[in-house]
Amino acid sequence: MEKEKIIYSAIQPTGNLHLGNYLGAVKNWIELQNSENYKCIFAIADYHSLTGNISADDRRKQIIRLAAELIALGLDPEKTCFYVQSHVVEHTELAWVFNSVCPVSELERMTQYKDKSGRQTKNINAGLLVYPVLQAADILLYKANTVPVGKDQIQHVEITRDIAKWFNKKYESYFPLADVLLTKNSKVMSLLEPEKKMSKSLGEGHVIELADDEETVKNKIKKAVTTKEGVENLFVLLKEFVSEEVYNKFTKQEKDSSIKYSELKTELTKSILNYFSDFREKRKELLNNHDEIAEVLMKGAEEASEIAKKTMADVRKIVGVR
């Protein structure tokens, strides 16, 4: 019998979920949790968010809001281990152990460090540099062997594999080498600057948040650019949210130049609002009942801690601090 694969993935509490988050990661999480071949461990990566610029009060609110949104989208606590990263103290302990085997030169070449330090020039903190080490600890603490990522995130899994190799070589063979599980979902670009990935950091008009109301979604899509790249991005969204018949109709019109982008945008707006209507209702219910969210997160943290404590007991013995 094939050994069950352990999947690990996490998301930062840095704002409401948007279409890019959903199609790039969360939709895939929901599909994976229903597979009998995987044990899924999903986390809210609040320690990672400390490297950014959000306030403590905003972070607390965002953790609750993100948990509510993920559950409302269909993340099932009965099928997954779902928790908040900081609720399991072993994450940072293992990260420190990994800091002692990871060369600084490897961290300095990471694309994410270059990108983020370029965006937040007034806050280039050490956390940005060692971010991949904590990420490796997140994954390897549970001996996860599968990490679902997009093509632009493969580098993160590669350095996790390297850190496992460096640890195993210096001490003893203990950690598995995690494999990439490429997500099938399409990359969603900004509505206003479609050469850039959809991101809250670009500004409000660039993203469609899943909780946006009808008027907001309508206005954002109405203002979406229809340059070559912009149209390609709108068709990415069409393929995800409209019927095959409607998608084929607009594809045909695009080819014979009879398309009216106002009609395409109207259809896309209606379809997105309808797709996430149940989500918005469930989200509202959960945000009015923090006790239900807290119960889910406490249960997940207990399950995660049980695994993490065993791993760290082994690691302490291996490195000679116990």
Ordered mean pLDDT values, 10 residues apiece, the chain (322 residues):
79 93 92 90 96 91 97 96 98 97 89 66 78 96 92 87 97 95 82 92 91 96 96 96 96 96 97 97 95 96 98 98 87
Taking the mean position of all CA atoms in its chain, how far away is CA 233?
Answer: 20
Asked if CATH classification 3.40.630.70 holds for the domain at 200-279, the reply, yes or no, is no
Task: Give the other-Cβ count within 10 Å of 223's Cβ.
Answer: 11
Q: Is 170 a catalytic residue?
A: no
What pLDDT score does 322 carry?
81
Angle 175-147-167 from CA coordinates, rounded to 5°: 20
What's this model's pTM, rounded to 2 decimal places? 0.92
Q: Per the residue annotation, which of 200, 218, 309, 310 is the catalytic one?
A: 200
In angstroms, the CA 230 to CA 236 distance is 10
Q: Which of 39, 116, 220, 265 is catalytic?
A: 116
236-248 CB burial, b ≥16 within 10 A, e <16: bbbebbbeeeebe
Domain with CATH 1.10.240.10 in the chain: 200-279
Q: Which of 197, 218, 309, 310 is catalytic?
A: 197
Active site residue 197: yes
* CATH superfamily membership of 5-187+290-319: HUPs (3.40.50.620)
User: Where exactly does CATH 3.40.50.620 map onto the chain?
Assistant: 5-187+290-319
85 within 8 A of 44, measured Cβ to Cβ: yes
143 is catalytic: no
